[in-house]
Amino acid sequence: MAQVKYTEDNIRSLDWKEHIRLRPGMYIGKLGDGSAADDGIYILIKEVLDNSIDEYVMGHGKTIEVDILDGMVRIRDYGRGIPLGKVVDCVSKINTGGKYDSKAFKKSVGLNGVGTKAVNALSSNFKVQSMREGKVKTAEFERGELTLDAKLQKTAMENGTSIEFIPDDKIFKKYKFELAYIEEQLWNYAYLNAGLKLKLNGKIIQSKNGLLDLLTNKTNVEELRYPIIHLQGHDIEIALSHGNQYGEQYHSFVNGQNTTQGGTHLHAFREAIVKTIREHYKKDFDTKDIQSAIVGAISVRVEEPVFESQTKTKLGSQSIAPEGKSIRLFVGEFVKKHLDNYLHKTPESSKALLSRIQQSEKERKEIAGIKKLANQRAKKANLHNKKLRDCRVHLTDKKGDETKKLESSIFITEGDSASGSITKARNVTTQAVFSLRGKPLNCYGMTKKIVYQNEELNLLQHALDIEDGIENLRYNKVIIATDADVDGMHIRLLLLTFFLQYFPELVRQHHLFILDTPLFRVRDKKETFYCYSEKEKQDAMAALRGKPEVTRFKGLGEISPDEFEDFIGSGMRTDPVLIGGSMSIEEILSYYMGKNTPMRQEFIIENLKVEKDTITPDLEEIV
């Protein structure tokens, strides 16, 4: 084996921007293209917003404006503004910032002085302006390189900071901002900072009642078993109720930061609810019966929080600095005292809560035997060889590389030809394939017992490892890959029904996607275009001129593995499944999967794409 020389010449020192650009994942997590809520372009927005939120928390500025236009982001707050002599340093020198002075920023989100610098380094264009006491300081950068360091000028603008940036398309390939994700992000800031006015492209986002508003807007209050319990204390706020849905639904926050992966505070909250309810009713209920169908939210503020990554999605702190009290004890004491008092003072809610727990207990015992047999069947089916073609991230190491797990995905498809093409074209390191046999069962309105009785649904939940909730979900992206025809739409709707009814958190936490595959291939002897719409086809034909060959893909199985590699690789297009608006999951399922109302028939007729040579199917067969 040839010896590789290792000398002084092999040692490199990178400046701040080079290191960020070389290892962006260390600073903003996965890059992505904007189709997922945790993609890097949204982390860039969050890093700038965190600083503006910290200003509000410290009592400075009541409005934050966010404008998104043609890939450019502008964020303007009305806080104190960056000290004018340190504007350039604060956005371009690592370990420079005001957050190191605990007197200036107590219980803030950002502590390590990296966030805005990462945004600067990862933007093709970055502009910062600070307005203080009638003066403005402006600086501009290109990919972290200073291009304008303007002198101080007089201004009539209000105090505050304005930052504009365009994500670098050399790093964020073919990215697109999904405004629904940004709006959800801003709503979370609003819930955690009652009274703060946020504006997204002029739309006002504001909350008066904090976590009470959050749960009210995230659920259909008419489906809750008792009114939302909303309790507030020093540095802690909680809200909770029980509904009729399957699974648990939690929202957790630390210092205004949405900790989507939870952490020590959420663990303490769930534990405290179980302990308090057991003691209140003087009965040793099963933990699952208490937690089933719960909807809850918790927000805590701590000094010098420790997060498990730069993106701050999971709290790792064990204590409330500087007091030294454990977070488990801090949360536990608050929940025990105030939740127990509330249940004593409101016997109607106490009775309704007890009834919901007893219902969960009854349902759990009813399916216990079926569940055991279903698990045995799943093992006998030799899941990982027959139904699931797993990816190496999970096959080689159960603990795995967390970065790779963030990139992991699973395609759910139907038919041997389609699954065969995807299997041959996939990235075996991070992409898995699950093959359905025929159309899945329409499980609308059925209890969870049917999941264990139906072999396909049972094997699917085992493949994803979501039987007991999505905490153990094996893939970051669950992608439904069906043909672009009536049968494919039908299968897609049936799968959506399965996930929305039994595993709604999979959708709420933005793990479910629809694969977008090309409808046409347009080519001549020199060039080939893959088109995802009729308009793209017409544009391609015009670009090639002459008489190009046009192929209509009617099924995934018609696309060769070599071609498929482009559609599920770096150029993959996916549409996120989002729950928006005021409709609850029950209302959504009833609308699409219930009886054929005239309103739903009209919607299907207007939205269903049917080829000219295809006979329009019976509406009941579509949905």
Q: What is the CATH number of the domain that holds 580?
A: 3.40.50.670
190: pLDDT strictly greater than 90:
yes
One domain, residues 314 and 331:
yes
Domains contained in the chain, number: 3
pLDDT at 386: 66
pLDDT at 84: 94
Q: What is the average per-residue pLDDT within 104-113?
A: 49
Q: How confident is the model at residue 24 (pLDDT cuts 50, 70, 90)?
A: confident
606: pLDDT strictly greater than 90:
no
Burial readout 194-226 (b: 16 or more C-beta within 10 A, e: otherwise): eebbbbbeeeebbbeebbbbbbbebbbeebbbb
One domain, residues 393 and 286:
no
Q: What is the average per-residue pLDDT within 160-176?
A: 93
One domain, residues 224 and 318:
yes
Phi and psi torsions of 190, nearest 5°: -65, -45
One domain, residues 418 and 500:
yes
Show which of 205, 236, 271 is a domain's final residue. Answer: 205
Instruction: Say if CB 541 and CB 401 are below 8 A apart.
Output: no
605: pLDDT strictly greater than 80:
no
More confident of the two residues 256 and 382: 256
The CA angle 369-375-377, to the nearest 5 degrees, is 105
Mean pLDDT (the chain, rounded): 84
Q: Which amino acid is at 64?
A: I
One domain, residues 264 and 223:
yes
One domain, residues 23 and 73:
yes
Residue 183 belongs to domain with CATH number: 3.30.565.10
Residue 296's SS3 state is strand
pLDDT in tens, 401-434: 556 677 899 999 987 778 888 999 999 999 999 9
One domain, residues 72 and 197:
yes
- 2 part of a folded domain: no
Show which of 182, 205, 228 is a domain's final residue. Answer: 205
Q: How confident is the model at residue 370 (pLDDT cuts 50, 70, 90)?
A: confident
DSSP assignment letter at 3: P
Show which of 357, 392, 425 is a domain's final residue. Answer: 357
100: pLDDT strictly greater than 50:
no
Q: Which amino acid is at 197?
A: K
Lookup: tokens for 370: 């079926």
pLDDT in tens, 245-291: 888 889 999 888 888 888 889 999 999 999 999 999 999 999 999 99
- 163 part of a folded domain: yes
Domain that holds residue 327: 211-357
Phi and psi torsions of 546, nearest 5°: 55, -145
pLDDT at 112: 39
pLDDT at 515: 92
pTM given for the model:
0.78
pLDDT over 70, % of the chain: 84
One domain, residues 499 and 618:
yes
One domain, residues 324 and 433:
no
583: pLDDT strictly greater than 70:
no
